[in-house]
Structure 1
């Protein structure tokens, strides 16, 4: 079943420099070189994105690729130079300031790399702060804050101040604060990049746990491809303000649309993105060692398939769609697929 589109941008541009709007109107779809010659910077160029309800959509690229600017355009924290942005079918660019503020307060949550916790407020007060701004009464906002604090695993630390927390705990407070308004759309801009590798991995686990419970629509920015393929349903790869390709992690690795995407994904372990279904062969064995699901990553099933004497059946929605052999798994692991 196709999921409905929650957020969409059509031909969105963000150009920095003098007379950017007039230049764009006189020079439709300018190349990067033309922008540079005019003294302009094309931070986002002709972006077209549809984000489906309930998916984790990752925008990734190197520093300066335009990923953070695009997300700020999607939330209208930055005003696009041209294009249209639709949220729940309504054009954000046609909304009044009051309408936009209401949507940000009630339907959008945001988490950034800098935790931005208020140092004079406790964990409970920080988590409840967005509801305080909305004028929600104290009892109601604190009850809701207690719920999200429990959700992110900070029970017992409600009275702590930010300075008394670790970096990972501070980030959990930031996540709790963004969830307290029960947003339909959740923006996360490199939320874990300031954390050390071990805590970062723990926060990714926590993030996936939360998503399995909440089923939010999430736009997640990262420059780390390993993080992207672990979290994403789909990934948009950006370079010089332009979206090079939008695809699933598996599709990006197996069928890169540009040389840049191919280079970007060249050193990714294929076992982390290739699924059993994509290397399934027609059934021809009479005896099977067991069953795997079509969406299982090779990384997670490699050991059991390699150890088995017989192939495994590959299942999809309870039906057998093929088989996966030890040789097929080995081919993925050594890079022959």
Structure 2
């Protein structure tokens, strides 16, 4: 099942988003999993209001770091601190999209996107409106599928539904774990451009395995290398994102990233 669409506008949802930038400071971070040291005295500053992309080979620890930022790993399970620049905690300021769509099978697309209202018992002006949800879903090419349930959607449609749910949360920090992995090449490119516009001025931390995707979207790329990560190699791509992936300079930066990724081992 597929659909062709041309995302050319930004809905009122985007215009209503706040522009507060939140730097994320990770300090002296230690994390082990099943007796394997993943992070070893790791510190990193993720720039507020920008796209920060984590790049690394499978199993290196990218998702573990994102979960720690999201507060999904108990503080008792690691050492170190993860806070905003002013020392405040990040809780309550984060939208999170996992690798899996995690849609409720008994709800349709629109209901899944609005599930936050029900979970938080929001109503009136505090709730996400159906109009905003429908506008965003139209931008994502899902306008004709609002009443369909997840089992009747393609993998790419399910992923776009999960993306819509995340964007509607409208928090200043947005964590994305391979948000475009289920999309075909054309749809992925369209979603890159659309998501970049929707998340203007947000603090975005995204995981990807694709160096070209990182180079298209990132303000700053961090290459994580195992087996025990003590630091990250940083690259600031040329020009302003989203970029043309056919740009000659960008292709040279792609070679730099490939060399950095090759200089480490893959982990299971």
TM (norm. structure 2) is 0.72
Provide the secondary structure at the position in 2 that maps to 1:125. helix
Provide the secondary structure at the position in 2 that maps to 1:271. helix
- Does residue 1:229 correspond to 2:246, yes or no? no
Q: Contact between 2:48 and 2:203, CA under 8 Å: does it hold in 1?
A: yes
- Does residue 1:272 correspond to 2:256, yes or no? no
Residue 197 of structure 1 corresponds to 185
CA distance in 2, matches of 1:91, 1:249: 30
Provide the secondary structure at the position in 2 that maps to 1:220. strand
How far off is 1:169 after superposition? 2.2
How far off is 1:156 after superposition? 3.6
Residue 232 of structure 2 corresponds to 244
- Does residue 1:184 correspond to 2:179, yes or no? no
Residue 36 of structure 2 corresponds to 41
CA distance in 2, matches of 1:229, 1:9: 23
Residue 7 of structure 1 corresponds to 24
Question: Which protein has the larger Cα radius of gyration, Structure 1 or Structure 2?
Answer: 1
Deviates more, 1:67-76 or 1:135-144: 135-144
Q: Contact between 1:7 and 1:50, CA under 8 Å: does it hold in 2?
A: yes
5+ residue gaps in structure 2? Answer: 1-19, 240-245, 254-268
Provide the secondary structure at the position in 2 that maps to 1:57. strand
CA distance in 1, matches of 2:191, 2:168: 18
How far off is 1:158 after superposition? 2.0
Q: Which has the larger helix fraction? A: 1
Residue 83 of structure 1 corresponds to 80
1:48-67 mapped onto 2 (5 Å cutoff)? 48-67=43-62
Larger RCO of the pair (alpha carbons < 8 Å, separation 6+): 2
Q: Contact between 2:21 and 2:49, CA under 8 Å: does it hold in 1?
A: no
Q: Contact between 1:110 and 1:178, CA under 8 Å: does it hold in 2?
A: yes
- Among 142, 164, 167, the residue aligned to 2:155: 167
Residue 210 of structure 1 corresponds to 198
Q: Contact between 1:14 and 1:82, CA under 8 Å: does it hold in 2?
A: yes
1:103-118 mapped onto 2 (5 Å cutoff)? 103=92, 107-118=93-104
TM (norm. structure 1) is 0.59
CA distance in 1, matches of 2:201, 2:21: 14
How far off is 1:236 after superposition? 0.7
Q: Contact between 1:124 and 1:142, CA under 8 Å: does it hold in 2?
A: no
CA distance in 2, matches of 1:125, 1:13: 39
**Count of matched residue pairs:** 222
5+ residue gaps in structure 1? Answer: 18-39, 252-267, 276-337
Residue 24 of structure 1 corresponds to none
CA distance in 1, matches of 2:38, 2:247: 31
| CA RMSD across the alignment | 2.9
Residue 266 of structure 2 corresponds to none
